């Protein structure tokens, strides 16, 4: 992830690495400051530190690319692993902008950053009042697709070229205050004999993004 950081436009304040790590990775981390194993252990939040840490300034979010095909909107995603996986998957499918409700997990949470595997350095993530955002998009004539248990079969519908894709939280789904803005309810059908109540939020997001951009 630090190597990917070096290829981004993020403002790097410090890179710290153990001597062993620098010995094994001399070229890409030539600018790193050497520290001891004990210092790394004291600074790292991980049980098994990887041997390198970067201190980076948090950048300001960019304006949304209104001409983009799809924008992902996340309603109350609380699990850091899910958030990081969604960001990583969005980059895979070419979705560059993500709008998060004000109560989503902080994207600079260490577990979120780790789960993105570097995608957080390239994807534009904004925090916003989600209902205000969706209302504005609706007024502009944008289609707003919501992942629900009942809706049009994602595998049988005509694929759109653009729109807002709304993904709800792991425990509550899309919340009642957001539902009125969903113009296109969509669903991932399950087998008739399946007793599973729902899909993991990041898995559902991945399936929908794959189908929408296919």
pLDDT digits (tens, 9 = 90+) for 166-210: 999 988 899 999 999 999 999 999 887 777 777 899 999 999 999
For residue 16, the model assigns a pLDDT of: 94
In a domain, 51, yes or no: yes
Residue 64 lies in a domain: no
155 & 97 share domain: yes
Residues 169, 201 contacting (CB under 8 angstroms): yes
pLDDT mean over 121-146: 94
If you count them, how many residues does the chain have?
Answer: 214
Direct distance between the N- and C-terminal alpha carbons of the chain, in angstroms, rounded to an integer: 28
- Domain with residue 101: its CATH number is 3.40.1280.10
124 and 201 share a domain? yes
For residues 175 and 47, the model is more confident at 175
pLDDT at 25: 81
pLDDT above 80 for 28? no
Does residue 50 or residue 155 have the better pLDDT?
Answer: 155
- Domain tally, the chain: 2
Residue 61 lies in a domain: no
Closest CA to 83 of 58, 52, 117: 117
Together in a domain, 41 and 83: no
C-alpha torsion angle, residues 21, 24, 30, 32 (rounded to 10): 0
Query: What pLDDT does residue 48 have?
Result: 86
Domain that holds residue 17: 2-56
According to the model, what pLDDT value does residue 26 have? Answer: 72
Task: Say what the pLDDT of residue 195 is.
Answer: 72
Q: How confident is the model at residue 87 (pLDDT cuts 50, 70, 90)?
A: very high
> In this structure, are 141 and 191 located in the same domain?
yes
Q: What percent of the chain has pLDDT over 70?
A: 99
- Looking at the structure, tell me whether residues 6 and 74 fall in a common domain: no
């Amino acid at each position: 992830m630090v190597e990917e950081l070096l290829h981004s436009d993020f403002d790097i304040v410090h890179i710290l690495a153990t001597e062993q790590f620098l010995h094994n990775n001399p070229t890409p981390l030539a600018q790193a400051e050497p520290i001891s194993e004990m210092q790394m252990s004291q600074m790292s939040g991980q049980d098994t530190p990887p041997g390198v840490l970067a201190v980076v300034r948090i950048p300001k979010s960019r304006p949304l690319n209104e001409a983009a095909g799809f924008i992902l909107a996340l309603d109350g995603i609380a699990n850091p692993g899910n958030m990081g996986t969604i960001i990583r998957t969005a980059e895979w499918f070419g979705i560059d902008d993500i709008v998060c409700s004000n109560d989503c997990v902080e994207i600079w949470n260490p577990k979120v950053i780790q789960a993105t595997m570097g995608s957080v350095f390239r994807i534009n993530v904004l925090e916003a009042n989600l209902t205000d955002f969706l209302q504005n998009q609706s007024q502009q004539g944008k289609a707003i697709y919501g992942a629900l248990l009942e809706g049009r079969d994602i595998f049988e519908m005509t694929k759109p070229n653009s729109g807002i894709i709304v993904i709800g939280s792991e425990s509550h789904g899309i919340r009642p205050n957001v539902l009125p803005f969903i113009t296109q309810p969509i669903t991932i059908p399950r087998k008739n004999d399946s007793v599973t109540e729902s899909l993991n939020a990041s898995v559902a997001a991945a399936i929908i993004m794959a189908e929408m951009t296919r």
